[in-house]
Amino acid sequence: MEHVELRGARVPKVGLGTWRMEGEECYDAVSTALELGYRHVDTAQMYGNEAEVGRAIADADVDRRDLFVTTKVKPGNADYDGLVESAKASLDRLDTPYVDLLLLHWPNPLVSIEETMDAMKELVDGGEAYHVGVSNFPLPMLKRAREAADVPILTDQVQFHPHRPKRKLLRYCQDEDLLLTAYSPLAQGELVEDETLRRIGDRYDKTPAQVALRWATQHRNVVVIPKSTSREHLAANLDVFDFTLTRTEVDEVTRPSLLKTGASMVKGMLRER
């Protein structure tokens, strides 16, 4: 497994996203992922599955120190007391004394980012969060959050895939030694049947999904958190580091499309994953 190392963090390049996983399905997926070698797990207060994620981690034959666990605070908990109290409740549900990364899930225009970051600093100072960051922040808001923070921001977790390459945000993260965490790296499944990815994948005996994940992970300072509950797909998502796309292939894969990005987002909202 390849890692990104920056700002004192060592983050596996492929993690498990758990959006829309519930109950035993979530427990089983996390358990299987850890068995297969995943060491990076992402959850959130909004997902309602922190307890299942925590139970799977506790039951796994993996040392907690070898895991990188992320959870995200609801935007409604962005105020100082709400963030501190809800984060501690997340730790209780996860059954862990700390998270490796704590994010604000979405911007909250009703709460100053200074107040949010002050609360995150308290948690870092108390050892309850090793690193902090944001999610779904456009570049101007990320810059503002960094200016407001008295602790380093490690990452911005955003939708990132060949149809939404986020070039300006990516370049900023690379220039400023920040991590870009890519959720929905397969565009809500839209890329798994993509003919361009299939054609390129045939050269390496890889699936379109594996090509899309390799496209993302070849970018400096990028990690991905695809969601899957299938053992086969979970294993395949890890198996993306034994080939390298050429510059020409990277350019072929990169096809920005607001239409396809919007369609995949709507599809993801309307269906069970």
CA atoms of 182 and 159, how far apart (whole Å): 6
Host H or E run for residue 233: helix 231-238
Is 12 exposed, middle or buried (CB count within 10 Å of its CB: 0-12, 13-18, 19+)? Answer: buried
The set of residues, in sequence order, having a beta carbon less than 8 Å from that of 76 and lying 6+ positions away, is: 82, 108
Residues 188 and 265 sit within 8 Å (Cβ to Cβ): yes
Q: How far apart are CA 253 and CA 255, in angstroms?
A: 6
Distance between CA atoms of residues 36 and 154, nearest Å: 27
The separation between CA 6 and the C-alpha centre of its own chain, rounded to angstroms, equals 16
Please identify which of the residues 38, 47, 80, 130 carries the catalytic annotation. 47
DSSP reduced 3-state for 145 = helix
Is position 172 annotated as part of the catalytic site? no
Interior/surface letters 173-199, b for 16+ CB within 10 angstroms, e for the rest:
beeeebbbbbbbbbbbbbbbebeebee
Euclidean distance between CA atoms 169 and 161, whole angstroms: 13
Write the single-letter amino acid at 199.
R
User: 38, exposed or middle or buried, with CB in 10 Å at 0-12, 13-18, 19+?
Assistant: buried
Task: Write out the catalytic residue numbers.
Answer: 47
